[in-house]
């Protein structure tokens, strides 16, 4: 049920798998009206020579999945503006999408022609069991398409590799990008983290889309259509798809009985108190324990994230962590690691005394006047208009070179400048900055302004992931990827890319992960979806209904369970509150995560009853699981 690969091997195997065809060609033929038929064992897709999908039929049920009458082609291409001279003179200079209007098939590849754009695209089609994978191989430019222009051709900004209109069925999973019911299912899925997968609403259905981006992965980028007769056959096809492409095994995670076990979260574990924590977990019947990163690090708050220096509680280093986790496992408890992978603390070595260039800048500015190496400054003059730059307190921070500068305001008329400037922000070292130097506004986390987000277009996330992996590989088996929203755009790519960068460094892929945010490719990792932040006792029941209970059916539409946590213990917390919330979680076959602080547990007058409530419902989960892919319990 689990993949065993080295920390290098996980990602390498994935990349190698993407470069190796799963099959030789694709079963196909032409219809009487010259339409192209592409078939797998589970479905048949018919595309007209005008590039418009005509039919997608699930073979076993003979269900037609397409929304008729949309007349949308399977492919399109987008340029920032027309570049070839005659076309540029004919049309407005603006971002323009050219639809495919012709299609040719040679038994292995589609050659796609476009309206107006003077080039073609070559798309290879590979067949797997239950899926068709479409790969953008290259473009064909006619010799006179860009006469005398000294530029790489064609100037493509985006390529829509799939655009599939599907009609409404009982369920639509927006995260998985899948329309389904118990008879039939169809999904447009990414094959790697670099494609943007989404959908557009239509009357009677949705358009499932997959886009490739220049600068991310254009040539060689791919997406797939996966279709089968209902939920479980669809998951079977998805499981094969994941295995063929070397992806994390999201289906296997969802089918593991471990996925609906409730979790004991702790931020205070160490070798001196682990026996006490184990005893509490056992009394509550909890078989999973989630350890916050601060259990192991010197820096206990967000301010030190990124360093991951081991606490003095572990004089023997990582071996001491392994020994502690061995004790947890010997007690029949599975340990997990909770980290904030995209956050870099403002007191970490990545910020002080010099700001790392790989931290994200939300906007870039060019110095119009130099900044001296010493002395106070109150203004920074820049070439660009700072209009709409952040003005919220504590996030007004510029970085030029390694030095940080706070500002109070700015001008939006020339000469452009930031005003109320103070240097040495974050205790950074003052240095000189020459005219023409480029810096920018730091992407400071909105959660307390104690950390800064990583730019996912460089290798800093990989570097931090190696530190996380060194702790995780001490014996952890599942992972909570908190702070997942903390990336630079496009979020639909970078949220799951950041998660995958961490997972790819682990010696073994986790049984499952949860996370604070999700985007499409993360479905293969986040079999547990998310937990909510803590609701106080006075609104606890109300918020359980408003948030996790409302999200649970949405996650079921994505063939995924929700975590009904996080819950903590206050003096006002009563067993009746937890009994109510547990009943709602079990209704959707979902677990909970409870945060036990030892002093809070000791001070609650209902402590033993609270633990008994957890044990009652956990015993029920273990003895009454009827489906391993987590729909609501009948």
* Separation between Cα atoms, residue 498 and residue 465, nearest integer Å: 9
Answer whether 476's CB lies under 8 Å from 289's CB: no
Q: Averaged over 91-97, what is the pLDDT?
A: 94
More confident residue, 624 or 362: 362
Alpha helices in 310-440 (DSSP H): 318-330
pLDDT for the residue numbered 564: 97
Per the domain annotation, does 254 fall within a domain? no
Q: Is the pLDDT of residue 6 over 50?
A: no
CA distances from 361 to 111, 462, 492 (A): 40, 18, 19
Q: Judge whether 582 lies within some domain.
A: no
Number of domains in the chain: 2
Q: Is it the case that residue 321 has pLDDT exceeding 80?
A: yes
Confidence of residue 11 (pLDDT cuts 50, 70, 90): very low
Query: Is position 235 within any domain?
Result: yes
**Which pLDDT belongs to residue 16?**
44
Over residues 523-536, the pLDDT tens digits come to 999 999 899 999 99
Same domain, 243 and 373: no
* Residue 265 located in a structural domain: no
User: Could you tell me the residue range of the domain that residue 384 belongs to?
Assistant: 361-442
- Residues 167, 39, single domain; the answer is yes
**Angstrom distance (rounded) from CA 287 to CA 334:** 6
Whether 243 and 366 map to the same domain: the answer is no
- If asked whether residues 242 and 365 sit together in one domain, one would say no
Residues 33 and 178 in one domain: yes
Q: How far apart are alpha carbons 456 and 353 in whole angstroms?
A: 22
Among residues 247, 279, 304, the one where a domain terminates is 247
How far apart CA 212 and CA 116 sit, in angstroms, is 20
Helix, strand, coil distribution of the chain in percent, nearest 5: 25, 30, 45
Of 188, 217, 247, which residue sits at a domain end? 247
The yes-or-no verdict on residue 354 having pLDDT over 80 is yes
Per residue in 138-177, pLDDT (tens digit) is 999 987 678 788 888 899 999 999 999 999 999 999 999 9
- Rounded mean pLDDT of the chain? 93
Contact status, residue 20 vs residue 12, Cβ threshold 8 Å? no
Q: pTM of the entire structure?
A: 0.92
**Domain annotation covers residue 500:** no
Average pLDDT on 317-336 reads 98
Query: Same domain for 240 and 366?
Result: no
Q: Last residue of a domain, which of 218, 247, 276? A: 247
Distance CA 167, CA 93 (A): 35
- The answer, yes or no, to whether residue 404 has pLDDT greater than 70, is yes
What's the CATH code of the domain at 171?
2.70.98
pLDDT digits (tens, 9 = 90+) for 549-590: 999 999 999 999 999 999 999 999 999 999 999 999 999 999
| Angle ∠(415,416,421) on CA atoms, nearest 5 | 120
Give pLDDT, residue 600. 93
């Amino acid at each position: 049920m689990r993949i065993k690969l080295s920390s290098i091997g996980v990602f390498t195997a994935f990349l190698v798998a993407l470069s190796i065809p799963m099959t030789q060609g694709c079963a196909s033929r032409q219809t009487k009206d010259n339409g192209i038929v592409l078939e797998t064992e589970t479905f048949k897709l018919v595309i007209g020579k005008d590039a418009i999908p005509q039919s997608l039929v699930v073979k076993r049920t003979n269900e037609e999945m397409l929304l008729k009458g949309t007349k949308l082609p399977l492919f399109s291409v987008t340029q920032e503006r027309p570049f070839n001279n005659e076309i540029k003179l004919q049309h407005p200079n603006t971002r323009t999408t050219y639809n495919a209007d012709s299609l040719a098939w040679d038994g292995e590849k589609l050659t796609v022609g476009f309206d107006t754009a003077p080039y073609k695209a070559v798309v290879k089609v590979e067949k797997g069991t239950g899926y068709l994978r479409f790969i953008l191989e290259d473009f064909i430019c006619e010799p006179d398409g860009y006469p005398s222009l000294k530029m790489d051709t064609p100037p493509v900004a985006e390529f829509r590799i799939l655009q599939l209109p599907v009609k409404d069925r009982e369920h639509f999973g927006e995260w998985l990008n899948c329309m389904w019911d118990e008879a039939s299912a169809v999904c447009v899925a990414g094959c790697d983290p670099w494609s943007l997968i989404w959908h557009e609403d239509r009357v009677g259905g949705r358009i499932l889309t997959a886009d490739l981006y220049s600068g991310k992965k254009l040539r060689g980028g791919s997406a797939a259509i996966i279709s089968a007769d209902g939920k479980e056959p669809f998951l079977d096809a998805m499981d094969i798809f994941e295995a063929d492409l070397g992806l994390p095994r999201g289906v296997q995670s969802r089918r593991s009985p471990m996925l609906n076990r409730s979790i004991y979260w702790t931020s205070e574990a160490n070798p001196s108190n682990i026996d006490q924590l184990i005893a509490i977990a056992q009394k509550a019947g909890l078989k999973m324990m989630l350890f916050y990163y601060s259990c192991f690090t010197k820096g206990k708050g967000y301010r030190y994230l990124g360093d991951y220096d081991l606490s003095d509680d572990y004089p023997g280093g990582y071996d001491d962590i392994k020994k502690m986790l061995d004790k947890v496992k010997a007690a029949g408890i599975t340990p997990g690691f909770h980290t904030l992978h995209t956050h870099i603390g403002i007191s970490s070595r990545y910020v002080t005394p010099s700001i790392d260039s790989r931290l994200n800048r939300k906007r870039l500015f060019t110095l119009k006047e130099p900044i001296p190496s010493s002395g106070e400054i109150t203004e920074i003059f820049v070439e660009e208009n700072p209009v709409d730059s952040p003005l919220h307190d504590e996030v007004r921070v510029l970085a030029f070179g390694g030095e940080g500068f706070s500002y109070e305001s700015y001008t939006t008329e020339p000469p452009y400048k930031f005003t109320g400037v103070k240097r040495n922000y974050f205790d950074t070292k003052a240095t000189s900055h020459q005219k023409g130097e480029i810096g920018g506004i730091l992407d400071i986390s909105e959660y307390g302004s104690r950390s800064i987000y990583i730019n996912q277009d460089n290798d800093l996330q990989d570097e931090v992931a190696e530190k996380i992996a060194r702790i995780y590989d001490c014996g952890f088996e599942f992972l909570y990827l908190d702070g997942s929203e903390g990336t630079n755009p496009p979020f639909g790519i970078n949220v799951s890319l950041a998660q995958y960068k961490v997972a790819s460094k682990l010696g073994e892929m986790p049984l499952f992960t949860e996370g604070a945010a999700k985007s499409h490719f993360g479905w293969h990792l986040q079999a547990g979806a998310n937990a909510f932040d803590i609701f106080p006792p006075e609104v606890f029941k109300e918020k359980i209904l408003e948030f996790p209970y409302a999200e649970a059916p949405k996650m079921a539409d994505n063939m995924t369970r929700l975590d009904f946590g996080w819950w903590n213990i206050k003096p006002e917390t009563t067993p009746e509150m937890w009994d109510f919330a547990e009943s709602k979680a079990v209704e959707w076959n979902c677990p909970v995560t409870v945060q036990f602080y030892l002093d809070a547990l000791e001070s609650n007058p209902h402590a033993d009853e609270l633990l008994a409530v957890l044990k009652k419902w956990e015993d029920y989960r273990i003895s009454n699981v009827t489906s391993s892919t987590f729909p609501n319990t009948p």
